[in-house]
Chain A
């Protein structure tokens, strides 16, 4: 009897390992986001750079809220610093609140604060220490934009524009989306993609 239990246990363990590994290899190391286009974002917890708890819905705007996943050390994210600052300047007067979220475990809050000041980002940047919000939204790289309307419905997700080099931009996807949301119209291409640096997530078990 004992022999059968041992065999069964070994087989079960092997199955668990195999399934787990298959899942790992089949996916990016990013949990699938729980908020899709048209879905509502819950009032998830975030942290200020001073380490104080805050919540997503504290940053509600009359027209909506733009969430930008950003990094301090990613050259792609940094290539967009001035463009993100310009969007914040241009659209805050149009009822949008713009916030940045730094989800990288490798980039401490002090560094994030200094980076925001040095680069005149002009918008609040928050910390997502355990990647909970990044996981919740399914964010995988920086810079990555999530645009919510005033009811916290996700209306646009993806890139800021189509070229890291500003000289070669042919479509300003995020601005187009923000104009549409402000006007109460549907966003023409609500899900877009771009190359970017992977988010440095907290390791499992830590």
Chain B
């Protein structure tokens, strides 16, 4: 048997790498999901495995700490909040445009356990490209104050954190995409995406 040549070894390695990559990308793959990455891009019906991870006040603080070193935009919303639902696609577009620039986008739903069906349906329809969480029901006031003691709890509310963890800006209520982008650029220092088309 002839000794394995470098060329053949290279072909073999490349083929193996390609096969592994294709297997990983295939829907219904067996690779374990990270507990907090509950976004689903597959066409599979929504179920408990895809639900946003539930977090409490200290969980929220941990998530922010985990992303220290990168600018973070956190959008608080709920299926019962119509302006929240209306701006969610815009948040998704901003995530697409600015994630390559280093922005971390997170959404936290305030829906309680009885709203899982509409929540799942909404997420399946909107296909977020960012991580979604759900606030653990109860202790609302403690949660609100731990996010920002100056926040009334009104939604929609988006909080902008600089890379050093500092709260740089917040937008509570309904605002245009331009206002969001100004916050990303002027408060978080992100540069404008190369090809930007405003859809709002």
Contacts and interface: CB of A to CB of B under 8 A. Distances in A.
Interface residues of B, number: 36
B134 to A, nearest CB: 13
B140 A194 contact: yes
B186 A141 contact: no
A25 B187 contact: yes
A21 B81 contact: no
A198 B140 contact: no
- Which label, helix, strand, loop or mixed, suits the secondary structure of the A interface? loop
B80 interface: yes
B141 interface: yes
Contacts of B122: none
A140 interface: yes
B145 interface: yes
B80 A198 contact: no
Interface in A184-200: 192-200
B73 interface: no
A76 interface: yes
Nearest to B149: A193
A97 B140 CA distance: 28
A29 B173 contact: yes
Contacts of A25: 160, 168-171, 182-183, 186-187
A51 to B, nearest CB: 26
Interface string B173-199: 111000100110011000000000000
18 contacts: A21-B182, A25-B170, A25-B183, A28-B172, A29-B175, A75-B80, A140-B154, A144-B152, A162-B140, A162-B141, A168-B137, A192-B141, A193-B144, A193-B151, A193-B152, A195-B153, A198-B155, A200-B174
Interface of A: 21, 24-30, 73-76, 140-141, 144, 159, 162-165, 168, 170, 192-201
